[in-house]
Amino acid sequence: MNAFLDFLIANWQLSGLLVVMVTVYLVFEFIQQVMPGNSVSPEEAVVLINHQKAVVLDVRTPQEFSTGHILDAINVDASESDVKLKTLNKYMQRPVIVVCAHGKRSTLFAKRLRTLGFSTVVNLTGGLHAWQNSGLPLTTSGSNKQQRMK
């Protein structure tokens, strides 16, 4: 035990760094436990779409969207002003799944929607890459719901 304490004292910078890293890890784990539901896996997204009529908002560029998207997804420019986003108010009481290529843009956009009062907004973890890696289909065809927000 004395050797361990001597090591900690002799290497106080490394010991302090270890304490900080463990603390940060525990804080992030705690946040994940306290704030569940901010993101969903592709499989959970399918359940939301099929059973709770979730709306899929794809925040990629129109060019990215045209290469393939989730069926019935609505393409929304992530840089739109909050005033223009008011056109999405008709979806405020429905679950909303926000999607991008890897999950980074959609995380920020989901936070914006929450601040605008949307009741249930989740981010697709891993974005469309995770969707495709799960073996789920994309479409490039158009339909009435596959629209660009204007």
Active site (catalytic) residues: 100
CA–CA distance, 100 with 49 (Å, rounded to integer): 17
By three-state DSSP, how is residue 148 classified? strand
E-assigned strands of the chain?
Answer: 39-40, 55-58, 74-75, 96-99, 121-124
**Residue position matching structure tokens 């001597």:** 6
